[in-house]
Structure 1
Amino acid sequence: MPKVDDAHLAARRRQILDAAAACFAREGFHRTSVQDIVRESGVSAGLVYRYFTGKDDMIAAIVAERHEQRERRLREDPVVAYADLLRGLGDPAGRDGLRLALQVWAETVRSAPIRDLVRSGVDRPARHAADLLAGAALPPGVDVDAVIRIFIAVYQGLLLQTVLDDTLDHERLATAAEHLLRAALQPAGLTAP
């Protein structure tokens, strides 16, 4: 019997995760069944269960992948990457991803493992940003963690606003955020990598 190569296994896993993400974005986590994902992916139920134990496992895999992608971008050039994340919220091709993100946040109320995963996806980049902003000349009484949490909240809030209002000018908002970040870095002689 021929051996299945790693690329084929990765492609099948990707096919299942893409189908799960599409179903979750369209119908929500609780209204989506594994059978829905099987239909969407075009693979057998047995194959789905070969890769994932169930829907929660798929949700966790999707969340972990998205956090990894975002963190990789933020490590390259944090200020530009952050502004690009804000700009990307306005991309019509990403609307399903935004709806999925909102559902993931809602799922954190029900599922401790998803909450922990989402929390780690916020905390790791926040620690990296804290290192970057450590020498920033912030006004007295304003600490680095507060600044970071505000910028995280800006991203999360704009994501929510985008789902509710597709007329937002993301370019204008991202440019303003980028200028604010650069201003926080400049007084201390810091520059974004």
Structure 2
Amino acid sequence: MKDPLKEALQEQLIAGRRSQILDAATRVFATKGFHPTTIKDIAREAGVADGTIYNYFTNKTALLLGILDRLNETDQRATDFSQLTDISQVSKGEFRSFMMAYIAHRMLIFKADEFRIFKVLISEIMVNQELREQYRQKIVEPTMKMAEVYFQQWAEKRVLRPTNVRLTIRAISGLILGLMVEYVMGDETLEEEWETLPAFITDLILDGLRSTQA
């Protein structure tokens, strides 16, 4: 008979070791880049034997996917969106505050190390077909589908105006991604105004550019 307490402890140990390895991989990739980094480098940084890495990740691509999954906060996304649980009672002001806080959080995650790991991830995604396909299948598509459900409910309750929900989500995601790419390319305006962007983006998305006097 299985011991639930023992199984729970084992799961915590596995999750802890996995997180330890991902932390180390993030630091080494951000410092050395993807291709120059070896499994030995990551093992040394994590303080484990080389073989231990392979108990959790099959190769460096799997490590990058793990980092992407963690940055995406895949397990937390549903909880984040469900903060607005009683959709029928959500005011437009509450939705605006939620969106601004959510965008600010997502932008802060990637800027935490001045986009060093973001640069590594985005450049490798562009050339690594295996990583790109797994990232889309395992992380991007499930996240988009989950978001679509909530946005559709908000649209039905007139918190948002009826629109093409699938395109809306991708446009918002692409807007934020594009701004991060522009930032790492050295855009001085974005460097100066980065802290104000969440509020600006929220207003742009919810209010648009049309003059109220038009």
Judge same fold: TM > 0.5, yes or no: yes
Q: Which residue of 2 aligns with 1:123?
A: 141
Q: Which residue of 2 aligns with 1:13?
A: 18
CA distance in 2, matches of 1:92, 1:101: 6
Q: Which residue of 1 aligns with 2:100?
A: 83
CA distance in 1, matches of 2:68, 2:108: 20
CA distance in 2, matches of 1:100, 1:59: 10
Q: Does 1:159 align with 2:183?
A: no
Is contact 2:65–2:134 with CA below 8 Å preserved after alignment? yes
Q: Does 1:29 align with 2:22?
A: no
**Gap change, CA 1:53 and 1:118, over 3 Å in 2:** closer
- Residues 68-120 of structure 1: CA distance to partner in whole angstroms, max 9, x if unpaired? 15624642358656533543435797125x33233222222333332123324
- Identical amino acids, percent of aligned pairs: 26
Give the superposition deviation at 1:32. 0.7
- Equivalent position to 1:172, from 164, 175, 196: 196
Is contact 2:110–2:118 with CA below 8 Å preserved after alignment? no
- TM score, norm. by length of structure 2: 0.66
- Bigger CA radius of gyration: 2
- Choose 109-118 or 8-17, whichever is displaced more: 109-118
> Matches of residues 33-44 of structure 1 in structure 2 within 5 Å?
33-44=38-49
Q: Which residue of 2 aligns with 1:100?
A: 117
- Equivalent position to 2:65, from 55, 60, 66: 60
- TM score, norm. by length of structure 1: 0.72
Structure 1 segments, 4+ long, off by >6 Å, are: none
Name the aligned partner's letter for residue 61 of structure 1. Answer: G
Structure 1 stretches lacking a partner, 5+ long: 185-193
Matched length = 178
Is contact 1:84–1:174 with CA below 8 Å preserved after alignment? yes
Q: Does 1:45 align with 2:50?
A: yes
- Choose 168-177 or 14-23, whichever is displaced more: 168-177
CA distance in 2, matches of 1:39, 1:30: 17
Determine which structure has greater relative contact order: mean sequence separation of CA pairs < 8 Å that are 6+ residues apart, divided by chain length. 1
CA distance in 2, matches of 1:91, 1:154: 16
- Residues 117-175 of structure 1: CA distance to partner in whole angstroms, max 9, x if unpaired? 3324333333344441544436xxx7443333321121102222333357232332111
